[in-house]
Amino acid sequence: MKIVITESQLSKLTGELDEALGVPEGILQAGEEVYELIIQKLNDFNGGFEELNNDGFEIEHKFKIGNHYFYRIKVVFEIEEHPKAIAADMVGMSSQNEAELDDRFVLQSKRDPDEIIIGFKFYVEPGASVQDIKDYIEGYKNEDIPSLSHEMMHAYRDVVQKGDRPKERANYVANQLVRETFGFIPVINEFFYNSYFIHAIENVVRPTELAAHMRINNVSRKEFLKFFLNAEVIQRLKEIQRFSYDNLKERLLNDDINTIKKIFDKIKTDYSGKTDEEIVGMFLRLVLVKLTNSKNEAMNSILTTSVFEKMFGLTGDKEEFFKKYMKYSIKFGYDYDAFFENEEKYFHRVATQMIKKLAKLYDMAKKDSE
């Protein structure tokens, strides 16, 4: 039996397929369009770093992602001189948003639904210019467009979803705070980066990021497996799949024990008479305590929405919600072994799930006959 469908039905069907794969219809094309508009705007920009830092620029452009229309892109910059920068180095791209807590204890986006705000952070060498910023963005087009699509997916999610759970947001923030504190120790920096990488908030945007790489590289179905296995996202997920708590402890013991001792000296923590293995244990306990405290501080900040609460603390339903969260945040107490062993299982499970999910993007690869 031959089935005939209209062009509009086909378009709707394609959109539903893309949404099922986690890639809203139109987002890949929009990412490319916005990238070109940013380059064009930088070409026309006559100011210096001060103007770019203070004002950025705004682009009027109508585009559709899923069933939602956007009409503006605001681009903001954070540019700092850095002694190790060569010309200009981009160190981060972000989607900027604010959220407020509703009566159901759900974080609702305060984002203007008509616009997307994209942030660029650059380190530059003394004497660099805006031209160096533009040259960098143009030179890394194949990396920048997927990153831009990634951030635009965050913005789209903020607009169309029904809010974030405070627990997810507090955990997300806490991981970054601990990474900032102990990130100078490579294995700890790697652990918390990986924890961020597979966080629920990031997992939502990974399909769009990988699909953008596929589109830029014009990946066919015949080429998909090779592309997939070599993709940076998949390589990272494979690494997370292999995470070993025993390996983390071994690296701390062999590579970082002197640094750990210097930390304890600085904070006046006595480790005399302790073996190196026991000192590593003391350090991991410190990391767990910092993480627990950061989670509670982040949640308290999310729940505190008035001057009264800042002065006198949480009361009523908010206080009860916070107490319930604290039961979760302190569940491991000082048992760092239990915490990291639990994280090892979580890393393996989520990384495996994400690899399987991303493999379904095969359906978006170009057919070999095309």
Q: Which residues of the chain have pLDDT under 50?
A: 1-17
Asked if 264 and 251 touch (Cβ cutoff 8 Å), the reply is: no
Q: Is the dihedral of CA 265, 271, 272, 275 positive or negative?
A: negative
3 with 137, same domain: the answer is yes
196 with 318, same domain: the answer is yes
pLDDT of residue 114: 95
Cα(first)–Cα(last) distance of the chain, in Å?
A: 25
154 with 170, same domain: the answer is no
pLDDT of residue 368: 73
Chain-centre distance for alpha carbon 152:
12
pLDDT of residue 109: 85
Local structure of residue 367 (DSSP, 8 states) = P
33 with 120, same domain: the answer is yes
201 with 117, same domain: the answer is no
Local structure of residue 362 (DSSP, 8 states) = G
Tell which of 132, 163, 194 closes a domain: 163
3-state secondary structure of 71: strand
Structural tokens at position 217: 């590289």
Measured CA to CA in angstroms, residue 246 lies from 18, 252, 253, 256, 343 at distances of: 40, 10, 11, 15, 12
pLDDT of residue 19: 61
Measured CA to CA in angstroms, residue 71 lies from 23, 42, 68 at distances of: 20, 19, 10
227 with 286, same domain: the answer is yes
Residue type, 84: K
Asked if 122 and 53 touch (Cβ cutoff 8 Å), the reply is: no
274 with 189, same domain: the answer is yes
CA Rg, the chain, in Å? 23
Provide the domain limits for residue 21. Answer: 1-163
Tell which of 163, 182, 199 closes a domain: 163
**According to DSSP H, which parts of the chain are helical?**
7-20, 27-44, 49-55, 130-139, 141-160, 166-182, 186-197, 200-203, 206-216, 221-230, 232-241, 245-255, 257-266, 276-303, 307-312, 316-329, 336-359
What torsion do the CA atoms of 171, 175, 177, 183 make, to the nearest 10 degrees? 180
pLDDT of residue 2: 39
191 with 261, same domain: the answer is yes
pLDDT of residue 370: 58
Tell which of 163, 178, 194 closes a domain: 163
When divided into structural domains, the chain yields a total of: 2
124 with 225, same domain: the answer is no
Residue 200's nearest CA partner among 146, 161, 248 is 161
132 with 204, same domain: the answer is no
